[in-house]
Amino acid sequence: MESTLNAGIAMAEAMQNQLPWLEKVWLWVTFLGDPKNLYLFYFPAAYYASRRVGVAVLWISLITEWLNLVFKWLLFGDRPFWWVHESGYYGQAPAQVHQYPSSCETGPGSPSGHCMITGAALWPIMTAISSQVASRAHSRWVRMMPSLVYCTFLLAVGLSRIFLLAHFPHQVLSGLITGAVLGWLMAPRVPMERELSFYGLTSLALLLGASLIYWTLFTLGLDLSWSINLASKWCERPEWVHMDSRPFASLSRDSGAALGLGIALHSPCYAQVPPTKPKSCDLHTPGGSPMPS
């Protein structure tokens, strides 16, 4: 295993020292692949184009992010930016690598969340675009373009994570494969017509399930804060340590998104009504008449 990790450091070293002109590109790519952007940018854009695709992006994001959290608790996984110091492997000849503000995430490294979560959540967007293109284009290469763009983007995200010393190559590869498989499995099973109680129970299950796993591992003697301690110890600048990458930060986002999705889908503002009829979510005065615009 140590040789595998050493090969990952060598790859990051080559990318940083031999292709320095790509630095800004990798920084932008890792920003675009950040799972938080699924909630802030990708979900609203997808929802504007198609309600079903938008809901699919949000649903897959929150479920996959929760699974990534559990996988990291169970699989552990060092991150390169602290392993180069902790391992002692480079005691005689330090690796010629350096950190970036995006490097110092506090969670374990296996599997890559950028690759796994983003790969799964973008799957319904890719398949929806592929379906539209296939119905209009006759060229085989044109029909393949959405899939090629999807794969190219995820590959670039994975390389950016290696460049930043955030992940080793095997962590990126496991994230890519797991994300694509989860996206393929979950996209046809998006809950669009479920009761509000389903989303409330899902939110509660995510919260209690992760808490149960955490306390079970803690009771067994596993220190799940080990990665936070190493990130704080070896990050070059304290302000670079990303506290929002701590495990329970993503858990609160996932459980909140599940409940919020259910409330939104059952809101009277969500239902489509004919243009000639007043929407049931219009504001009304106490007397019952609509408020003047």
For residue 25, count other CB atoms closer than 10 A to its CB.
Answer: 14
Cβ(250)–Cβ(105) below 8 Å? no
DSSP 39: I
Over residues 229-250, the pLDDT tens digits come to: 999 999 988 889 877 767 678 8
Q: Cα 159 from chain centroid? A: 16
Q: Which residues belong to the active site?
A: 114, 167
State whether the Cα torsion 191-195-200-201 is positive or negative: negative
Tell whether the model's pLDDT for residue 275 goes beyond 70: no
Residue 244, both tokens: 């929002």
Q: What is the reported pTM?
A: 0.88
Over residues 175-206, the pLDDT tens digits come to: 999 999 999 999 999 998 899 999 999 999 99
**Domain boundaries, given as residue ranges, for the chain:** 18-91+98-269
